[in-house]
Chains A and B, each alone.
Chain A
Amino acid sequence: MTNPTETKHMYRSLLFLPMLGFLMVILNHDSQLWYNYQRLLTSPAVLLSDYVYLFGASAALLNASLVFMLNLALFYTLHVSMNGLFYATLFTVFGFSFLGMNPINLLPIYLGGYLYTVYNKIEFRSTVLIVVIAGTLSPIISHLMFGYGFQAFLGILIGITVGVFLGFIIIPMGRHLLRFHDGFNLYNIGFTGGILALLFNGAMKTLSHTAVRVRYLHEVHDPYILAFVFISILYWFYLSWQIKQPNSYQWKDLFDSSGRAISDFIEIAGVKTTYMNMALLALLLSIFILSVGAHINGLMLAAIYTNLGFGAFGKHLKNTIPIFLGAIGASLFLGLPFTSTLTLSSILFSSTLAPIAGYYGWGWGIVAGFSHIFVVGQVGDFYSGLNLYNNGFAGGLVAFFIINMIQIIRRNK
Chain B
Amino acid sequence: MNQIKRISGIADEMITVLLKYQFTKIDISVEPLPNGIRYFFVQHENSLTQKQLDDLLAHLNRSRQLEYETYYWPLAGETTEDMNLSVIGRMINKAEGWIEDDMLYLILEREN
- Chain A interface residues toward B at CB < 8 A: 1, 80-81, 83, 85-86, 122-123, 125-130, 171, 174-176, 178-179, 182-183, 258, 260-264, 267, 359
Answer whether A85 and B75 are a contact pair too, CB < 8 Å, given A1-B63, A258-B84, A262-B87: no
Evaluate contact between B75 and A83: CB separation under 8 angstroms.
no
User: Which of B78, B81, B86 has most A Cβ within 10 Å?
Assistant: B86
Q: Which residues from chain A contact B73 at a C-beta distance below 8 Å? A: 175
Task: Give complex CA distance A175, B72 in Å.
Answer: 6
Which B residues touch A86, using CB under 8 A?
A: 67
Of the residues B65, B70, B71, B75, contact of A81 by C-beta under 8 Å:
B65
Report chain B residues within 8 Å CB of A258.
82, 84
Measured CA separation A260–B81 after assembly (Å): 12
Residue of B nearest to A189 (CB): B71
Q: Which residue of B lies closest to A127 (CB)?
A: B70
Report chain A residues within 8 Å CB of B70: 122, 126-127, 130, 171
Chain B proximity of A224: nearest CB distance (Å): 34
Which residues does chain B contribute within 8 Å of A263, judged by CB atoms?
Answer: 86
B65-A179 in contact (CB<8A): no
- Contacts A80-B67, A123-B66 given: A261-B72 contact, CB under 8 Å? yes
Other-chain contact of A175, B67, B71, B82 (Cβ < 8 Å):
B71
Partner of B68, one of A83, A171, A182: A83
- Chain B residues whose CB sits within 8 angstroms of the CB of A176 once the complex forms: 74
- Determine the residue in chain A with the shortest Cβ distance to B66: A126
In the assembled complex, how far is the CB of residue B86 from the closest CB belonging to chain A, in whole angstroms?
Answer: 4
Q: Which residues of A contact B45 (CB under 8 A)?
A: none
Q: Check B69 for interface membership: any CB of A closer than 8 A.
A: yes
B residues whose Cβ falls under 8 Å from a Cβ of A: 62-63, 65-75, 78, 81-82, 84, 86-87, 90
B68 nearest CB neighbor, chain A only: A262
- When C-beta atoms are compared, the residue in chain A nearest to B87 turns out to be A262
Query: CB-CB < 8 A to A261: which residues of B?
Result: 72, 75, 86
Are B62 and A125 in contact (CB-based, < 8 A)? no
Question: Could you jot down 7 A-B contacts, CB within 8 Å?
Answer: A81-B67, A122-B70, A126-B70, A129-B67, A130-B71, A260-B84, A359-B82
Given contacts A85-B67, A125-B66, contact A178 B75 (CB under 8 A): yes
Quote the shortest CB–CB distance from B104 to chain A (angstroms): 24
In the assembled complex, which residues on chain B have CB atoms less than 8 Å from the CB atom of A130?
A: 70-71
- Point out the residues of chain B lying under 8 angstroms from A179, CB to CB: 74-75, 78
CA distance A392 to B55 in the complex (A): 33
Determine whether the beta carbon of B78 is less than 8 Å from that of A183.
yes
Say how far B65's CB is from chain A's closest CB, in angstroms.
6
Shortest B6–chain A CB gap in Å is: 11
B67/A126 in contact, CB under 8 A: yes
B62 to chain A, nearest CB (A): 6
5 further interface pairs, Cβ-Cβ under 8 Å (given A127-B67, A262-B90, A267-B62): A125-B67, A179-B75, A183-B72, A261-B86, A262-B72
A182 cross-chain contacts in B, Cβ below 8 A: 75, 78
The answer to whether A127 touches B71 (Cβ under 8 A) is: yes
Taken together as a complex, chains A and B put the C-alpha atoms of A362 and B16 apart, in Å, by 26
Q: Which residues of B contact A128 (CB under 8 A)?
A: 67
Name which residue of chain A comes closest to B75, CB basis.
Answer: A183
Q: Assuming the A-B contacts A1-B63, A262-B90, A263-B86, are A85 and B74 also in contact, with contact meaning beta carbons closer than 8 angstroms in the complex? A: no
- Would you give the shortest CB distance from A277 to chain B, in whole angstroms? 17
Residues of chain B with a CB closer than 8 A to A175's CB: 71-74
A-B interface, 6 closest residue pairs, ranked by CB to CB distance from nearest: A126-B66, A126-B70, A262-B86, A130-B71, A183-B75, A178-B74
Residue of B whose beta carbon sits closest to that of A171? B71
A1 to B73, CA, bound (A): 22
* Alpha-carbon gap, A129 to B65, bound state (A): 12
Most chain-B CB neighbours within 10 Å: which of A1, A86, A127? Answer: A127
Chain B residues whose CB sits within 8 angstroms of the CB of A127 once the complex forms:
67, 70-71
**Once the chains are docked, how many angstroms separate the CA of A179 from the CA of B9?**
13
Q: Which residues of A contact B78 (CB under 8 A)?
A: 179, 182-183
Whether A178 pairs with B72 at a CB distance below 8 angstroms is yes
Q: How far is the CB of A211 from chain B (nearest CB, A)?
A: 28
Which of chain A's residues have a CB closer than 8 A to the CB of B81?
Answer: 359
Complex Cα distance A83/B69, Å? 13
Q: Could you tell me the distance in whole angstroms from the C-beta of A247 to the nearest C-beta in chain B? A: 15
- Taking the nearest CB of chain A, how far is it from the CB of B88, in angstroms? 10
Q: Which residues of A contact B66 (CB under 8 A)?
A: 123, 125-126
CA distance A171 to B73 in the complex (A): 12
- Which residues of chain B are within 8 angstroms of A122 by Cβ–Cβ distance? 70
Residues of the B chain whose Cβ atoms lie less than 8 Å from the Cβ of A262:
68, 72, 75, 86-87, 90
Distance of A178 from chain B, by nearest CB (Å): 5
Query: Which of chain B's residues has its CB closest to A117's CB?
Result: B70
Determine the chain A residues whose CB is within 8 A of the CB of B71 once the complex forms: 127, 130, 171, 174-175, 178
